[in-house]
Chains A and B, each alone.
Chain A
Amino acid sequence: MALLDIADITKRFPGVIALDGARLSVEAGEVHALLGENGAGKSTLLKILSGAQPCDSGRLSFAGAELDARDTPVRRQDAGIVTIYQEFNLQPFLTVAENMYLGREPLRLGLIDWARLRRDARAVLDSLGLDLDPDTEVRRLSVAEQQMVEIARAMTLNARLIIMDEPTAALSNREVDILHRIIRTLKDRNVAVIYVTHRLREVKAVCDGYTVLRDGRFVASGRVADIEIDGMVRLMVGRDVEFLKRPSHKAAGEVVLKLEGIGRKRGSNEARGTTLTDIGFEVRSGEIVGLAGLVGAGRTELARIVFGAEGKDSGTIWLDGKALKVTSPCDALAAGIALVPEDRKQQGCFLGHSIRHNLSLPSLRRLSRWGVFVDEGAEKRLVEDYRRKLNIKMANDGVAIGTLSGGNQQKVLLARCMALSPKVLIVDEPTRGIDVGAKADVHQVLFDLAATGVAVIVISSELPEVMAVSDRIVVFREGRVTGVLENNGVDEETLMGLMTSSVAA
């Protein structure tokens, strides 16, 4: 009998069904890959397993007993299900040993028994073959070492099932090998692992079984030995395209933006995120170029470099045939490059401020008398103009933008950029978390903009979206461009292959 057996899991969010009858079964001592595209429902399923969110309906059994859907994460940990998220749950200023036993420190006369704490931690680390000093502060450890601490901590909780969410996303190849060795040790001790990843080669290397989700539904499961990588890709993709295709339009014009040899090391100029290597492509007037890739492939980083929000180490940005020097978003906006950022709430909106103030902010110079006093009449007309053009639903323009739906917020941010009449518009995940109707509206706006000659770059982690809106598709993998394809007759599997390295670029 399986260690974990869940079935008919359904979870609704306002406007979306995240999971629709998902199921998953994992044996004791098995490493099980959970596969699916972005938005397939993997994260939601993990949250339901870890107790971070209850499911609406479904059956969960673990180690022969039914689990209560309303269990808290602590209850699930006590039951033996421990989740290691991409953002670790460690206290940076505490030591390895303290983190491993946080909240469960061995006591002696009501005080922490430090000697025993160290001894116990040492024993657990040794049993996993980990070469870590229990007295090191966690903040001094590398990402890979912190992950080892998480695993060691799971073992102190007597975990019988460890869930790892994209465990290798931030690891080097050598570190991946070490992680896989640790996973095999866990297996030998009859601990099961759910391994969530986009890297299908790793699935072949370390996993025993797999389950594929698509659009919140169960698609298939089986033994990894019985399937090849392209077979997994085929199971993951291949759904109906629900997006409007870009209607026929006139051919693209002159090259507006040209990127040549853009590179940046992780860590230089305080840069975080992916290392970019030798990125180059062109965007023409009136053209929509889609950037496809997995989360963390370096698309957002590239967009931020072109927009001047982050620095680069090498390469040239050409705008209208002239080399462009951007050191701040201010420069980029002045040159005619606008960006609708990835994270609407953190990077886009002033949530407590009115729609009007949100929309007009970068355009105020134009809307001010002598560049100083805001002409509120002109400002209101501008907002009204875009309310009609983009079909923004709002009571009036004085309402805080935070009260709008995600789709309407996104339209306001698009309008903010459009009001600047940019030559190049970059939109990063323009339809993430907004409903279907608003998605179509946003796409229509992009089509209209391209029709007026704007060079548009669309970043999206949803392949069907990239395929629907783009004239050309640039594929990113791990900070490199692995393909530039005209979007006529490209299939999803080819793109997925270029994104996940399962076929040669």
Chain B
Amino acid sequence: MNAISEKRPFDTVGFLRTWGTTLFLLLLVAVFASQNPRFLSLRNATNILTEVSIYGVIAVGMTFVILTAGVDLAVGSLLAFASIAAAWTVQHLAPGVPQWLVALSVASAIGLGAGFLHGKAITLLNVPAFIVTLGGMTVWRGATLILNDGGPIAGFDDGYRWWGTGAIMGVPVPVVIFAVVALIGHVTLRHTRYGRQVYAVGGNAEAARLSGIDVRAVIVSVYAIVGFLAGLSGFLLSARLGSSEAVAGGNYELRVIASVVIGGASLAGGSGSIRGTLIGALLIGVLSNGLVIMHVSSYFQQVVIGLIIVAAVAFDSYTKSHRGKV
């Protein structure tokens, strides 16, 4: 049988939908590099990637949450609480065990537990995720301040610091961890039964229930995942800074949610990807770093990032409504 290849007109909107954010990211890199050669230096690039990795880890988890049409505003506070609780444990308890092992376990366990609680509150009490995690945001920040009277905890050994400042074959440890987390997230969403269930719950919760999916269990699980990753991120941040600060992770929730949304996920649930989130997180990282290098004030940066979030979503909804019409 002879297949006749039909020449189709180029689908501009479809192309931009898939690659628009990536193109914009490349454009930004080109602009910043042309303005200041230091931008593309190995040191600066490493710096950007490490910064991105700390919140990028959480953004992977937030992708799961947003795919189910939820949101988690508590991740920044939870990060701080997990990190300070881990440092506190290292200082007060468990002598003889490697510091990093104690801190990593405590931070992840606290994150996982807190996330599980958020999920249970949402499904059992029937309170919207926005409200539960808005409450969580305040609760965990308050708990952080209580735990060490608002002060930082410092004095970690080299084994601990390695997780934030060390490198594996020249690649900073946080970047390696981010890459591993992103890969696991990607495989989970794209190639596992659980991933399909996450998409299904966000795509149409009632249809998911009638398809035999335990919708509540899926919802609890995504908050546990993002909580766990917030704990992990708190550990990495404290290892990088050499101290756990009560104010750490301020505004992280916004940066993380922005990464996912710029990456093309719909807040209505059911659509989005880890690949998109990766690009979104990088875009925010490149933008913040590039604006600093170009000596734009930090106040102005906030304005720019805010505008880009709105523009990204506006672009998304424009291309959605014009799909196939151009």
Contacts and interface: CB of A to CB of B under 8 A. Distances in A.
B55 interface: no
B322 interface: no
Interface string B203-218: 1101111111110000
Contact of B210 (A348, A352, A353, A357): A348
B38 interface: no
B234 interface: no
B196 A341 contact: no
A269 to B, nearest CB: 15
Contacts of B203: 350-353
B319 interface: no
A332 B213 CA distance: 12
B212 A357 contact: no
Given A329-B211, A362-B211, A353 B199 contact: yes
B191 interface: yes
Contacts of A416: 211
Interface stretch (A4-12, A51-59, A371-379): A371-379
A329 B207 contact: no
Given A329-B212, A357-B199, A361-B200, A349 B193 contact: no
Interface string A311-347: 0000000000000000011101110000101000011
A325 B211 CA distance: 18
Contact of A350 (B194, B204, B212): B204
A370 to B, nearest CB: 10
B192 interface: yes
B22 interface: no
B319 to A, nearest CB: 14
Contacts of A364: 193, 196
B196 A374 contact: yes
Contact of B191 (A341, A350, A373): A373
Contacts, number: 75
Q: Is the interface of A mostly helix, strand, loop or mixed?
A: mixed
Contacts of B212: 328-330, 332-334, 362
B266 to A, nearest CB: 8
A372 B194 contact: yes
Interface in B258-280: 270-271
Contact of B206 (A347, A352, A374): A347
B199 A365 contact: no
Contacts of A339: 210
Contacts of A307: 210
Given A329-B212, A352-B270, A374 B207 contact: no
A361 to B, nearest CB: 5
A330 B213 CA distance: 6
B68 to A, nearest CB: 13
Contacts of B270: 350, 352-353
A462 B204 CA distance: 28
A86 interface: no
A141 interface: no
Interface in A411-434: 416
Given A364-B196, A368-B193, A374-B191, A350 B210 contact: no
Contacts of B200: 350, 353, 357, 361
Contacts of A357: 196, 199-200
A316 B60 CA distance: 46
Contacts of A341: 207, 210
A404 interface: no
B214 A349 contact: no
B192 A373 contact: yes
Nearest to B266: A352
A107 to B, nearest CB: 38
A372 B192 contact: yes
Interface string A283-317: 00000000000000000000000010100000000
A491 B294 CA distance: 84
A64 to B, nearest CB: 45
Contacts of A333: 211-212
Contacts of B208: 350, 361
A346 B209 CA distance: 12
B211 A349 contact: no
A416 to B, nearest CB: 7
A347 B200 CA distance: 12
Contact of A349 (B192, B194, B207): B207
A372 B209 CA distance: 19
Which of B191, B196, B211 lies at the interface centre, i.e. has the most chain A CB atoms within 10 A of its CB?
Answer: B211
Contacts of B193: 364-365, 368, 371-374
A376 B187 CA distance: 13
Contacts of B207: 341, 346-350
Contacts of A329: 209-212
B107 to A, nearest CB: 27
B4 to A, nearest CB: 16
Contacts of A309: 209-210
B278 to A, nearest CB: 21
Contacts of A365: 193
Interface in B178-229: 191-194, 196, 199-200, 203-204, 206-214
B8 to A, nearest CB: 12
Contacts of B210: 307, 309, 329, 339, 341, 347-348
Contacts of A349: 204, 207
A371 B271 CA distance: 24
Nearest to A379: B196
A330 B214 contact: yes
A374 B192 contact: yes
Nearest to A357: B196
A416 B214 CA distance: 18
Given A353-B200, A361-B196, A416-B211, 16 more contacts: A329-B212, A330-B214, A332-B212, A333-B212, A334-B212, A346-B206, A347-B207, A350-B208, A353-B199, A357-B200, A361-B213, A372-B192, A372-B194, A373-B191, A374-B191, A374-B192
What 10 A-B pairs are tightest by C-beta distance, nearest first? A350-B203, A333-B212, A364-B193, A330-B212, A362-B211, A361-B211, A362-B212, A368-B193, A350-B204, A347-B206
